[in-house]
A and B are shown apart, each in its own frame.
Chain A
Amino acid sequence: MRVASAGATLLVVAAIVFFVMRFVPGDPVLNWLGTSYEKADYDRLRALYGLDLPLLQQFLIWFSNLLQGDLGYSVLTQLSVSEELWRRLPATLELIVLALAVALPLGIGSGIWAAWRYGKPADHAVLTATLLGISLPEFFVGALLMLALALQWRVFPATGFEPFAWSTEHFAHMALPALALGLPRAAVICRLMRGSLLEVFGRPYVRASLAKGLSRKATLFAHAVRNALIPVVTVIGLQIGYLVAGAVVVEKLFVIPGVGAYGLNAVTARDYPSVQGFILVVAAIFLIANLIVDLLYLWLDPRIRTGAQGAGR
């Protein structure tokens, strides 16, 4: 059921993107021809890419190809859109996973710590740091990291990409991009974790647990954290969306040949088939991430599990 509705969502997204792109000024052929061309050349190229057909017909052609898994060819490079996206997907997925590997432990950990030290200097320090993290966009964090860690201290290489391998070389190249993408997300998760935990601290079951004689620390880890995580997990699902958007900028800055950099080029060149393919992939990542989040709920909140079984009976 969930999978079917996700599929339908994807198709609606595809249709919207198709028409929105057509209403944005500019067209791929003009981009191809540059500043000096003859009208006949312009018309010939438009016909070649089927851009002279009525909009609805263009859509139906594209849509029926899409249903057969064919995303068409890039106007810009003549390469197959699906092949190119497929080739670039691993780099982007790895970047997102690494960014989550930065954001989750750092965000949840510092959130717990700030809540634990509520009102103390440590809490204020974390709040200030996260305020910065939330306010600074990825490209700025990335540029700062690059100047500090690549130029000043020469810890990591500034740019460049090494295809995936379990090597120091590969991960050294991914370190700065993962930090640039992960740190702002860590800030958001941290603030949420802190707030959620503080709220849970006031609940009767926590008070009951303390009254039972359980230590504060034991109460925190045995009861409070797990319950405080529920709203955080919801937001992490949404944060995946930000990660994909952030990947566009971070990939461009650090020159990672991923899906995001592809999408950015495609949009600037009005390369319709590529933009449409890119948006579909982004939407798919987002939908899959949210499916995973829903599964996590089952583990975190026993009530949902029971509810599901109840409905089954």
Chain B
Amino acid sequence: MIRKIFGGILLATSLLTAVSVSWAQQPRSGGALRVGIQSEPRSLDPLLVITDGATGHVVSNIFNTLVRYDEKMQIVPDLATSWRIEDDGRAVDFFLRKGVKFHDGTDFDAAAVKFAFDRILDPANSSPYRTFFKPVEQVVVINPSTVRVVLSQPWPGFFYQLLYVGGMGIPSPTAVKALGNAGFARKPVGTGPFKFADWASGDRIVLTKNTSYYRPNMPYLDRLEFKVIPDSTALTTSLRTGQLDLVRDIPSQLLPLLDKEPSLVPSVKNAYSFDWLALNAAKPPFNDVRVRQAINMAIDRDALAVAVYGKGARGSTAQIASANQFHHPRKLPTFTYNPERAKKLLAEAGQANLKFTLVSSTVKPQLGQEATVIQAQLARIGVTVTHQVMEHQAWLANVLRAKNFEASTVAGTGGPEPNSYVMFWTKDNPVNFVSLNNAELFELVPKAQGIIKDAERKKAYHRIQELGAQEASWMALMEVPSNAVMSSKIKGYVHLPYNVSYFDEVWLTQ
């Protein structure tokens, strides 16, 4: 009898355990998630304002885009359920999801998509993304659920461009017209999983659940709070004391500190971003290509990467990141550490005792650290480097705009689209601040953007990287790893190594 009861209890407990296990796997609705961001967005209008690191994580939850990324960074449907590309590559028809509503209750349709494109392309709106969308000739509404984008040239990178930093979110035309650009920037209305609720400037941005979101049962969270914490000590302390649940891309030297916390789960991935070395080809000493090549060969990029970003970080081998499919498979010569060859090149150029000034902006501390390491590495071949730290605004004015510099470390973001790495290598581009001048590159860079066949396109980008490496004026130093540190109660968060976070699938275990 006792055995029977015992057996019964055992069976009941194991059943209960089984139930609770499957219970734990089932996404649970409810709860609030607090995300720490290191800079305050200046606007939540995804079309009008250049989105810094943090803004993308916020706007990608208020707005939907035509397409979105899956966990492997492949493009999958979002507001467009499918699409058809014309054979000549000069038009794309998007077939739109039906029955989707904006947060203000108005219907999402083809006219809204056209409105979003036209807003970017209208010069009066001064969208920093206008130059990126240049190949878009016009957008035509075919019917309420079909929209056609006409392109001036075939543009295989188009879909990636729709997903630039925060993504080309589709805003409610009614809300934009009612609020104006400035008003909409502080009170955005989209179709996304969360509605904008409140923005206490300098403090937090609050989003609440969109109960009529198009994905069934989603989002799971009731509330999403983005807290602005610029100081990294304050940020990590808040994470460790449980005041925050998730933080993206904290300075990598702080990761070991957080590894020890049992309640936190870190994730580190190879990202698309690089830190770069810019050498001004318009001015001595770097107007001599041999000197530029020599400096690059005298830098031990792997050692530099580890010194600045910690164990596991890698020096770059070409100008397109290894996460991108157009990355050059070979380690290009000027990316290869070769101090002997560097010395020889400098001697040939009559610059055996080269002295120059390397500036770094204060936009992120790593740029200064890189300059210090480069200074030490170059001293080994007899080159004297003066390191000058420049406040970021002064850097933008002196280096980027006035081109008044010899050498600089630079932070840059790339993406899955290869053109983002080489886009300023075009003739008369004002952002070509290193004054790169190479006829073949000027021809090839715009052409590569329009090649439809993958193999041919790959070939073109490989050639571009080879030419760029020979020019050696704008050279990637190392890949900047992306990280996410989150509380162990978070489930369903996919760490995309890019400035985007989709919180519709995220839920909390407690």
Q: Which of B42, B128, B185, B234 contacts A254 (CB 8 A)?
A: B234
Within 8 A of A (CB), among B33-88: 40, 42-43, 49-50
Determine whether the beta carbon of A160 is less than 8 Å from that of B238.
Answer: yes
Whether A76 contacts B42 in the complex (CB less than 8 A), given A34-B50, A37-B131, A151-B237, comes out as yes
Whole-angstrom distance between the alpha carbons of A221 and B153 in the complex? Answer: 88
Task: List residues of chain B with CB within 8 A of the CB of A44.
Answer: 123, 126
Contact with A along B113-137 (1 / 0, CB 8 A): 0000000000100101011100000
Determine whether the beta carbon of A25 is less than 8 Å from that of B201.
Answer: no
Whole-angstrom distance between the alpha carbons of A36 and B419 in the complex? Answer: 13
Task: List residues of chain B with CB within 8 A of the CB of A79.
Answer: 186, 201
Determine whether the beta carbon of B393 is less than 8 Å from that of A151.
Answer: no
Determine whether the beta carbon of A31 is less than 8 Å from that of B393.
Answer: yes
| Any A CB within 8 A of the CB of B202 | yes
| Any B CB within 8 A of the CB of A32 | yes
Determine whether the beta carbon of B393 is less than 8 Å from that of A154.
Answer: no
Whether A78 contacts B393 in the complex (CB less than 8 A), given A41-B123, A146-B237, comes out as no
Within 8 A of A (CB), among B217-256: 227-231, 233-234, 237-238, 240-241, 243
Q: A73 → chain B, closest Cβ, in Å?
A: 8
Q: A177 → chain B, closest Cβ, in Å?
A: 11
Whole-angstrom distance between the alpha carbons of A26 and B393 in the complex? Answer: 5
Stretch of A115-123, A203-211, A230-238, A258-266 at the chain-chain interface = A258-266
Determine whether the beta carbon of A146 is less than 8 Å from that of B186.
Answer: no
Q: Which of A24, A40, A158 contacts B237 (CB 8 A)?
A: A158
| Any A CB within 8 A of the CB of B398 | yes
Whole-angstrom distance between the alpha carbons of A33 and B423 in the complex? Answer: 16
Within 8 A of B (CB), among A140-196: 143, 146-147, 150-151, 154, 157-161
Task: List residues of chain A with CB within 8 A of the CB of B237.
Answer: 146-147, 150-151, 158-159
Determine whether the beta carbon of A88 is less than 8 Å from that of B396.
Answer: no
Contact with A along B127-156 (1 / 0, CB 8 A): 010111000000000000000000000000
Contact with B along A26-48 (1 / 0, CB 8 A): 11001111111111111011001
Determine whether the beta carbon of A146 is less than 8 Å from that of B234.
Answer: yes
Contact with A along B11-37 (1 / 0, CB 8 A): 000000000000000000000000000
Whole-angstrom distance between the alpha carbons of A252 and B130 in the complex? Answer: 34
Task: List residues of chain B with CB within 8 A of the CB of A255.
Answer: 202-203, 227-231, 234
| Any A CB within 8 A of the CB of B400 | yes
| Any A CB within 8 A of the CB of B507 | no
Q: A173 → chain B, closest Cβ, in Å?
A: 10
Chain B interface: which size bin? 35 or more
Contact with B along A231-256 (1 / 0, CB 8 A): 00000000000000000000011111
Whole-angstrom distance between the alpha carbons of A63 and B231 in the complex? Answer: 35
| Any A CB within 8 A of the CB of B412 | yes
Within 8 A of A (CB), among B276-326: none
Whole-angstrom distance between the alpha carbons of A30 and B423 in the complex? Answer: 19
Q: Which of A42, A158, A265 contacts B238 (CB 8 A)?
A: A158
| Any A CB within 8 A of the CB of B397 | yes
| Any A CB within 8 A of the CB of B392 | yes
| Any B CB within 8 A of the CB of A269 | yes
Q: Which of B50, B229, B423 contacts A159 (CB 8 A)?
A: B229
Whether A158 contacts B397 in the complex (CB less than 8 A), given A44-B126, A261-B202, comes out as no
Within 8 A of A (CB), among B403-460: 412, 423-424, 430-431
Whether A40 contacts B123 in the complex (CB less than 8 A), given A26-B396, A146-B233, A146-B237, comes out as yes
Contact with A along B385-404 (1 / 0, CB 8 A): 00000011110111011000
Task: List residues of chain A with CB within 8 A of the CB of B401.
Answer: 30
Determine whether the beta carbon of B40 is less than 8 Å from that of A265.
Answer: yes
Task: List residues of chain B with CB within 8 A of the CB of A269.
Answer: 42, 393
Determine whether the beta carbon of A150 is less than 8 Å from that of B431.
Answer: no
Whether A25 contacts B393 in the complex (CB less than 8 A), given A38-B131, A257-B200, comes out as yes
Task: List residues of chain B with CB within 8 A of the CB of A34.
Answer: 50, 128
Q: Which of A25, A42, A143 contacts B398 (CB 8 A)?
A: A25
Task: List residues of chain A with CB within 8 A of the CB of B123.
Answer: 40-41, 44
| Any A CB within 8 A of the CB of B182 | yes
Q: Which of B185, B227, B424 contacts A160 (CB 8 A)?
A: B227
Whole-angstrom distance between the alpha carbons of A32 and B40 in the complex? Answer: 14
| Any B CB within 8 A of the CB of A268 | yes
Determine whether the beta carbon of B40 is less than 8 Å from that of A268.
Answer: no
Determine whether the beta carbon of B42 is less than 8 Å from that of A160.
Answer: no
Determine whether the beta carbon of B130 is less than 8 Å from that of A143.
Answer: no
Task: List residues of chain B with CB within 8 A of the CB of A161.
Answer: 203
Determine whether the beta carbon of B241 is less than 8 Å from that of A31.
Answer: no
Determine whether the beta carbon of B126 is less than 8 Å from that of A39.
Answer: no
Candidate in B231, B424, B430 with the most chain A CB atoms within 10 angstroms: B231
| Any B CB within 8 A of the CB of A84 | yes
Q: Which of A33, A48, A150, A257 contacts B241 (CB 8 A)?
A: A150
Q: Which of B186, B391, B430 contacts A38 (CB 8 A)?
A: B430
Whole-angstrom distance between the alpha carbons of A268 and B364 in the complex? Answer: 13
Identify 7 residue pairs between A and B in the complex whose beta-carbon atoms are under 8 Å apart, listed by A's number: A32-B49, A76-B42, A146-B237, A151-B240, A159-B234, A261-B202, A268-B392
* New contact pairs (14) apart from A161-B203, A268-B392, CB-CB < 8 Å: A24-B393, A30-B396, A34-B50, A41-B131, A77-B201, A151-B240, A151-B241, A158-B234, A160-B243, A253-B233, A255-B203, A257-B201, A257-B202, A258-B202
Partner-B contacts on A (CB < 8 A): 24-27, 30-42, 44-45, 48, 76-79, 84, 88, 143, 146-147, 150-151, 154, 157-161, 252-258, 261-262, 265, 268-270
